[in-house]
Every structure is written in C-alpha cells, then in structure tokens.
Chains A and B, each alone.
Chain A
Amino acid sequence: MEQILQPWPWYVSGPLIALIMFFLIYFGKTFGMSSNLRTLCTIGGAGKKVEFFDFDWKAQRWNLVVVIGAIIGGFIAHQFLSVQTNIDLNPKTVEDLSQLGFQNAGQSLLPTELYSWEAVFSLKGILILVIGGFLVGFGTRYAGGCTSGHAITGLSSLQRPSLIAVIGFFIGGLIMIHLLFPLIFG
C-alpha cells in the first residue's frame, strides 16, 4: 500500500499508459483525448454553423465516457491514493522557478501563482489560462492530435506525421519555456 501512495516511478507509469492505448485499440477504438473537444463543440450546437462540427457525435460517446472515467480516476488518485503532494523536482528547476516568481514549486500539482482563484481573477492570470487553453484547443485540432494521439499512439505505430507533430510540440514548448517565460514572468 505504501508504494501505491507514493508517486509511481516512470518505468511503471509509462508501460501502463501504453496498456491503456492498447486496450482502447483492442476495443476497436483509439487513444485520442483532444478529439473530445471537437465532440463537445458539436454537442454544443457548433455543427449547425460550421461544417467541421457537423458529424455524428454519438459515435464518439465512448470517448466521452473515457473522459468521465479520467475525472473519476483523478478524484480517486488524489483523494485516496496519495499522501501530501511533494514532487521530487530537480533543485535547479525549483531555483529557476523561484527566480520567475514561482514559490513552493512541487508542493502541489499546479502552481498557485497560475491556478489559485486569486491568480485567476487577475488580468494577467486569466489571460495566461485563456491563451494557454486556446492554443491547446486550436493546436491539437490543427495537428490532428495531442500527446495521446500523436506522441503515444502515433509514435507507437511508427507513423511519420506523428513524429513531425511531436517535433512541433517540442519546438513550441521550448520556445515558450526558454524564450517567452522570461518575458511573461521575468
């Protein structure tokens, strides 16, 4: 039990993620979380105005059930399977973050500097979350997948488009962290 309560090592988590992908493919589906964003737009009525959302969303119900499960899983893991969060970050990372104004790095899953209600209700805070979320939604659909669809499923099945997409993910991520973070938080 003690081992379950502690963070799971990468060599346990990685293969488990592969098994999740494999089971979904075995069920005749696929592992792709960003597709749900399109489905939710369609359920919200976007198909009446925009052709891209005019599809039979009911065929995607299984994927929404995965999302509901993921929310429940997040709840279970956080409430019952975790002791106090204390992420074992590289001390160098903690120091870098401190210089950018992020204190107590690793003592929660998300930084309070971005996700506390106090931060959310500041202009800069809300802009960061909205712009970040917008880029994720726009970018994943443009690229036709996210970490689950491209990095895990696409690379596991040795598809070249997914390799290009994952290279793109890293270019974007590196630009944000190394070039833009010092401007945004410096």
Chain B
Amino acid sequence: MKFLKYLFVGIIFGIVLVKSEAVSWYRIYEMFKFESFYMYGIIGTAIGTGVILLLLAKQFKLNNLEGHQLNVPKKDKGIFRYILGGILFGLGWALSGACPGPMYILVGTGAFSVLIVIAAALFGTYVYGIIKDKLPH
C-alpha cells in the first residue's frame, strides 16, 4: 500500500515523457543540433518550476510526509567525476537517444529492443563499480 504512491508517480512520469516526446531519439538529436527550442523549453520550464517549488517549500518550512523538513540530497563535492562522467553519459545519451528514465518508458511503449540498451547500461554500471577507486573523482 505504501508503494502505491510511487507507482502512481511513475505512471505519470511515463505518460508525461511519452506525451512530451522527450523519450524520442529524434528530439535528443534535434536538441544537440540546436535546431529546435522544444527540448530546451521542457528542461528550462522544469528547472524554473522546480526552483520555485523548492524555494516556496523552504520559505514556508514545508515538512515531508515523514515529518522532517523537506530535503534535497546534496551531491558530493568534486569536479572530475562530474565533468568526465557527464561527458561519457552525454556521448551515450546522444548515441542511444535514451537516458535512464526513458529507457524503461520506451519498453512500455513496446520498443523491446531498448532492453539491449538497458542490459548494456547495467553492465556499464557494473564496470564502474569495479574500477571506481582507480578513477579521479
């Protein structure tokens, strides 16, 4: 029962990303070509709305469902991991057209060959886990 709200949020997430076409390989290509404002509009309004919501929550000291003050997890300090990891992800994102949310959503739309991308992404995550201590962070 306590998981039901997560299922609901997931369903909305899936619907929004399909209806916004953000799951489309073509939209990602178009974005990196700077040939349309469309994806920048989505990401920009998402961040803009997000900033306002989080500032309002802070201003009004909104508590989360567990009764604690609303908290966004803080990312660790560092530069290398973010720039290098970011570049590697960006290369893969543009090539496959799928980031980790849309991958699953695309499977729901019936694009089962995306399961290969998911399997490869699991392997990539696994390899990172093995060699992470040798990488600059």
Give the complex CA separation of A62 and B65 in angstroms.
Answer: 14
Give the complex CA separation of A46 and B121 in angstroms.
Answer: 14
Q: Is the CB of B18 within 8 A of A169?
A: no
Q: Is the CB of A14 within 8 A of B7?
A: no
Instruction: Tell me which residues across on chain B come within 8 A of A146, comparing CB atoms.
Output: 89, 99-101
Closest CB-CB distance, A139 to chain B, in whole Å? 3
User: CB within 8 Å of A: which of B50-74?
Assistant: 50-51, 53-54, 57, 62, 64-66, 68, 70-74
Closest CB-CB distance, B55 to chain A, in whole Å? 9
Give the complex CA separation of A106 and B97 in angstroms.
Answer: 13
Q: Is the CB of A171 within 8 A of B86?
A: yes
**Beyond A18-B49, A158-B51, A171-B87, is A164–B82 a contact (Cβ under 8 Å)?**
yes
Instruction: Point out which of A23, A63, A90, A137 has the most chain B C-beta atoms below 10 A from its C-beta.
Output: A137
Contact partner of A69 (CB less than 8 A), chosen from B13, B49, B121, is B13
Question: Please, what's the 1-or-0 string for A65-84, where 1 marks a CB less than 8 Å from any CB in chain B?
Answer: 11111111111111001100
Contact partner of A110 (CB less than 8 A), chosen from B47, B65, B106, is B106
**Beyond A74-B23, A115-B114, is A37–B85 a contact (Cβ under 8 Å)?**
no
Q: Is the CB of A137 within 8 A of B81?
A: no
Q: Is the CB of A74 within 8 A of B105?
A: yes
Instruction: Tell me which residues across on chain B come within 8 A of A117, comparing CB atoms.
Output: 113
**Beyond A41-B129, A168-B82, is A109–B10 a contact (Cβ under 8 Å)?**
no
Closest CB-CB distance, A122 to chain B, in whole Å? 12
Interface size on B, residues (CB 8 A): 113
Give the complex CA separation of A157 and B50 in angstroms.
Answer: 8
Contact partner of B86 (CB less than 8 A), chosen from A27, A30, A134, A166, is A166
Instruction: Point out which of B28, B42, B50, B79 has the most chain A C-beta atoms below 10 A from its C-beta.
Output: B50
Give the complex CA separation of A16 and B43 in angstroms.
Answer: 11
Closest to A138 in B: B124
Q: Is the CB of A74 within 8 A of B106?
A: yes
Q: Is the CB of B26 within 8 A of A136?
A: no
Contact partner of B21 (CB less than 8 A), chosen from A29, A87, A141, A169, is A87
**Contacts from A to B (Cβ < 8 Å):** 4, 7-8, 10-30, 33-34, 36-38, 40-41, 44, 46, 50-53, 61-63, 65-78, 81-82, 87, 89-90, 92-93, 96-97, 105-106, 109-111, 114-117, 120, 126, 128-148, 150-159, 161-162, 164-178, 180
Other A-B pairs, 18, CB within 8 Å; known A33-B99, A89-B35, A171-B90:
A7-B21, A10-B38, A15-B45, A17-B42, A27-B64, A61-B3, A73-B12, A132-B92, A135-B92, A136-B124, A137-B125, A139-B90, A143-B84, A146-B89, A150-B75, A151-B43, A162-B82, A180-B91
**Contacts from B to A (Cβ < 8 Å):** 3, 5-33, 35-39, 41-51, 53-54, 57, 62, 64-66, 68, 70-79, 81-101, 103-111, 113-114, 116-130, 132, 135
